[in-house]
Chain A
Amino acid sequence: MAGGVVRDLARSRARPIIARAALAGCLIAALTGCGSLSRREAAVTAVARQFRSAVAAGNAAVACGLLAPQTRRELERSADLPCDRALADADVPTHGHHVDTVDVYGDQARVVFAGDTVFLASFSAGWRITAAGCVYRGDQPYDCVISGR
C-alpha cells in the first residue's frame, strides 16, 4: 500500500517534467528545422548568384563548374562545343540580382529573379545549376535557355 502511494506520487511528479521535456524537444526540432531551411535557402541563393555573376564576367570555368553534370553534358551535346564556349553562346540572362522567391524542397530548389528563374539540385559537392534562364509558362514546364532535359 505504502509502496503504491510512493509510486503514484513519483509518477504524478514525473508527469509535468516529462510533458515539459517533450514540449522542449518539439520546439527544438521545429526551430532546428527552420534554421536548417534558412541555411539551405541562403546556400541556394548564393550559388545561383555566383553562377550569374560568373557568366556576366565571362568566367566560363567557374560557371561551368557550377552546372549539374547532366546539364553540362546536355549543353555541350546540343551546342557541339565544350562547356565554356557553349555557355558564352547561350545568352543566359545575368542582369538583376534581386531575388523574388526562393523555394527549397528536398534536394531540389528554385531561385526566382526579377526576369528569369534558376533551378538547382543538391549534390555531394553542393548545390548545382540544373537549369538557367528559365521563363514561367503556366501549367507547362519552364522554358529554359540551358537545362539537362
Chain B
Amino acid sequence: MLRRAFRENSLTIVFGAAFLAALGGQAVAGHALLNQQQLAAGLEPVSLWQYLTSSDFGVDVTENWQSEYLQFFLYIYGTVWLVQRGSPESKPVDAAGPGSDEQQRAGPYAGPDSPRWARLRGFRLGVYSHSLSLAMGSIFLASWFAQSITGVVAYNEEQLSQLEPPLTWHEYLGSPDFWSRTLQNWQSELLALVSMAVLAIYLRERGSPESKPLGAAHHHATGETG
C-alpha cells in the first residue's frame, strides 16, 4: 500500500524532496559565503541559525520564489488566450479562450465526481474557474512583497557596513538593487517558457506528458501530448 502510494504520488514526492535538498544546500553554501564576507570585513562569523533567520537568506530565497510563481501565473493564464502552432504546451490554434461550460464540464454539465464548486453557478463557479491562476498570482505577489522587505534590510545592512546611508522601503522599490534582483529572475523564467513552447514543437521525450508523441508532425498536433 505504501509502495502504491509512493508510485501514485511520485512526482510530488521526488520533486518535493529535491526542493528541500536544494534549499538545504543553498543554506549551507550561503552561510559559508556570508561568513567569508564577514571575516573579510573584520566582523564575526554567524551561526547557521542566525543566517537562516537573516534577511540575506530571506531575500535570496524569495527573489527566486516570486519569479517561479510569476512564471506559472503567466503561463497558466496566458495559455488561455495565446497559442503556438505545433507546441504541446498550447491549445489548438482555433480553441483560444475560456471554453464553454459544456467543454469544461461545469455547472449543469458537471459529473457526479466533479469538484463541488464546479457544479455550482455564479460567484463560486467564477472563483473556482480561476482558482489556479489566483493561487499562483497570490503567492507571486506575497513572495515579491517578502523579497522587497528582506531586500531592503539586506541592502541597508550592506550600505551601513560601507558607511553609506540606508534607503526607506519606498526608496528601495525604485532602487537598482530591487529591480536588478527582480528582472534577472524574470528574464530567465520567461526564457524558459519560450524555450519550452518552441523546442517542444521539434523535439520529443518519449513517455513524457510534456512532449508530443514521437510520430506527431511538427506543425500539427498542437496541444497533443504523450
A residues near B (Cβ < 8 Å) are: 68-71, 73, 103, 105-110, 119, 121, 123-124, 130-131, 134, 136, 140-142, 144, 147-149
**What's the least CB distance linking A91 to chain B, in Å?**
18
Check B177 for interface membership: any CB of A closer than 8 A: no
Residues of B within 8 Å of A106, CB to CB, are 54-56, 153-154, 156-157
Contact: B164 with A142, CB < 8 Å? yes
B42 adjacent to A119 (CB under 8 Å)? no
* Bound form: Cα–Cα A105–B154 in Å: 7
> In the complex, what residue of chain A is closest to B41 when comparing beta carbons?
A70
Q: Which of B43, B159, B163 contacts A123 (CB 8 A)?
A: B43
- A interface secondary structure, majority: strand
- Decide if A134 touches B43 in the complex (CB within 8 Å): no
Interface residues on B, range: 20 to 34
Contact residues of B between 138 and 170, Cβ < 8 Å to A: 153-154, 156-157, 159-166
Q: Could you tell me which B residues sit within 8 Å of A by CB distance?
A: 41-44, 46, 54-56, 153-154, 156-157, 159-166
Give the top 6 A-B pairs by smallest Cβ distance, nearest first: A70-B42, A106-B157, A108-B160, A105-B156, A141-B163, A105-B157
Q: List 21 A-B contacts (CB under 8 A).
A: A68-B43, A71-B42, A103-B166, A105-B159, A105-B166, A106-B153, A106-B157, A107-B46, A108-B157, A109-B160, A110-B160, A119-B160, A123-B44, A130-B161, A130-B163, A131-B163, A140-B164, A141-B164, A142-B163, A144-B163, A147-B163
A110 to B42, CA, bound (A): 17
Check A103 against B156 for contact (C-beta < 8 Å): yes
Distance, CA A105 to CA B55, complexed state (A): 9
Q: Who on chain B is nearest to A109 by CB?
A: B160
Q: Give bound CA distance, A109 to B41, whole Å.
A: 15
B136 to chain A, nearest CB (A): 22
Which residues does chain A contribute within 8 Å of B161, judged by CB atoms?
108, 121, 130
Which A-chain residue is minimally distant from B162 (CB atoms)? A141
B54 contacts which chain A residues (CB < 8 A)? 106
A73: chain B residues within 8 A (beta carbon): 42
- Per a CB cutoff under 8 Å, which of B43, B55, B153, B166 touches A110? B166
Most buried by A among B42, B44, B54, B154: B42
List A contacts of B164 (CB < 8 A): 140-142
CA distance A71 to B156 in the complex (A): 20
